[in-house]
Amino acid sequence: MASDADLVIGADGRSRCWWCGDDTDYVRYHDEDWGTPMHGDQALFELLALEGFQAGLSWITILRKRENFRQAFDGFDPQVVAAYGSDDVDRLMLDAGIVRNLAKIEATIGNARALLELHDGGRTLDDIVWQMGRHPPRERPAKIGDVPPQTPEALALSKELKRLGFKFIGPTVVYAFLQSAGVVDDHLIGCWRAED
């Protein structure tokens, strides 16, 4: 069973996973987004991009800039982002509302192009993520130490996405993406979001 360090009790009396603490943005994200099954290539592309931007940073940094990212990247419409050129890269590098990392910006543009190539081949990111990212049945994690930083499924999906031309998608980033997209449900035992 989760300990007091593994769960936090919010002002509303609900038990939540340790990582959201009492920050209102994190609590809302935990309650409404994290672990909720997500489908659709545009939504998954956005989340994969944001997880890539998060690498080396805290998620709260990205979460607080999420709306800025959405504006800067035209709602993460892959058709639009794939057509970005050097002027767009320059514009994004000057945008203080996002994380200004050239490699991550270029990776996001490249990933939009890779996504369109998938579509040209009759495949979808949604199908790949939900087929390869699913984990065999397992017990719900009871404590922080039961949540792995990555899994064999995340490693396999990372390798497949790299093979397909995606970047900034190492196995740790992919596992965080799978958790956030609800492909994997890592809400701890005792968290109000945990299903029986």
pLDDT tens digit sequence for 105-149: 999 999 999 999 999 999 999 999 999 998 888 889 999 999 999
Distance CA 46, CA 98 (A): 14
34 tagged catalytic:
no
Torsion sign over Cα 117, 81, 155, 47: negative
Task: Please enumerate in sequence order all residues whose Cβ is within 8 A of that of 117, keeping only pairs 6 or more positions apart, or say none.
Answer: 164, 165
> Do the beta carbons of residue 21 and residue 84 sit within 8 Å?
no
Q: List the Cα angle 181/159/162 in 5-degree steps.
A: 90
Catalytic residue, chosen from 26, 59, 130, 175, is: 59
29 tagged catalytic:
yes
> Do the beta carbons of residue 77 and residue 41 sit within 8 Å?
no
Overall fold of domain 7-130+144-180: Endonuclease III; domain 1 (1.10.340)
Q: Which helix (H) or strand (E) holds 112?
A: helix 102-120
Q: According to the model, what pLDDT value does residue 137 have?
A: 86
Q: According to the model, what pLDDT value does residue 164 have?
A: 97
Q: According to the model, what pLDDT value does residue 1 have?
A: 53
Residues of the chain with pLDDT under 50: 196
Catalytic residue, chosen from 26, 34, 46, 51, is: 51
Catalytic residue, chosen from 29, 84, 130, 175, is: 29
Which residue is listed with tokens 């397992």? Answer: 138
Distance CA 79, CA 182 (A): 25
Q: According to the model, what pLDDT value does residue 53 have?
A: 96
Return the closest-CA partner of residue 38 out of 161, 158, 125, 118.
Answer: 125
59 tagged catalytic:
yes
Q: According to the model, what pLDDT value does residue 2 have?
A: 56
Distance CA 124, CA 122 (A): 7
